């Protein structure tokens, strides 16, 4: 990774709040005017750490995904779906997720990266249920609906697909 470009902007109008965000390959840190150099350095470091932690939560690793899948199964499926692996894949452009029930493997499209955790959890949940029920019948949906934000997540993904390609996609 190239070194991070950090731009610090001070505002006299900004009294208490400190914030940071990415703008292309730059990171902008907004600080109130009048901080000492030492305070400024500490705040910048703290804000960069916070931003990185937030992004990490939004970009879970394969191991994080497997842990989340196991938690979802325990919480909503009485632990009956037993995932062996959950991983991100690049070559899945028309589906959000897929699975191989015989092996307990689940794959998620990298396009889900950066989406809210509850949306990614929905797709994991959907694939977990497929480990138990292959087809999209009433039994399938009854299990999926145990995840409280299932409907909202479906709406979110449909809206996203419509905006991106003018059609919806299934998993």
Residues that bind Zn ion (CB under 5 A): 171
Cα separation, 132 vs 113, in Å, equals 25
Shortest CB 126 distance to Zn ion, Å:
5
Nearer to Zn ion, 14 or 105 (CB): 105
- The distance of closest approach from Cβ of residue 71 to Zn ion in the complex, given in angstroms and rounded to an integer, is 20
The least distance separating Zn ion from the CB of residue 136, rounded to whole angstroms, comes to 6
Q: How far is the CB of 93 from Zn ion (least distance, A)?
A: 16
Q: Which is nearer to Zn ion, 29 or 143 (CB)?
A: 143
85 versus 98: smaller Cβ distance to Zn ion: 98
In the block, tokens 């409907």 appear at 151
Half-sphere exposure of 149 (CA within 13 A, CB side): 14
Closer by beta carbon to Zn ion, 119 or else 171: 171
Q: What's the gap between Cα 115 and its chain centre? A: 4
Residue 107 is inside which H or E element, if any? strand 105-109
Which residues lie below 8 Å from residue 68, measured CB to CB, with a gap of 6+?
A: 60, 86, 120, 121, 124
């Amino acid at each position: 990774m190239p070194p991070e470009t950090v731009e610090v902007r001070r505002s006299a109008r900004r009294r208490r709040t400190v914030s940071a965000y990415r703008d292309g390959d730059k990171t902008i840190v907004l600080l109130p005017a009048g901080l000492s150099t030492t305070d400024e350095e500490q705040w910048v470091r703290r804000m960069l750490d916070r931003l990185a932690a937030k992004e990490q939560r939004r970009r879970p690793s394969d191991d994080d995904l497997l842990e989340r899948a196991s938690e979802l199964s325990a919480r909503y499926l009485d632990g009956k779906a037993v995932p062996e692996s959950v991983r991100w894949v690049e070559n899945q452009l028309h589906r959000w997720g897929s699975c191989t029930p015989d092996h307990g493997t689940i794959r998620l499209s990298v396009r889900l990266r950066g989406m809210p955790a509850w949306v990614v959890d929905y797709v994991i949940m959907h694939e977990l249920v497929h480990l138990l029920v292959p087809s999209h019948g009433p039994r399938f949906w009854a299990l999926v609906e145990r995840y409280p934000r299932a409907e909202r997540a479906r709406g979110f993904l449909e809206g996203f697909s419509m905006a991106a390609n003018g059609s919806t996609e299934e998993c």
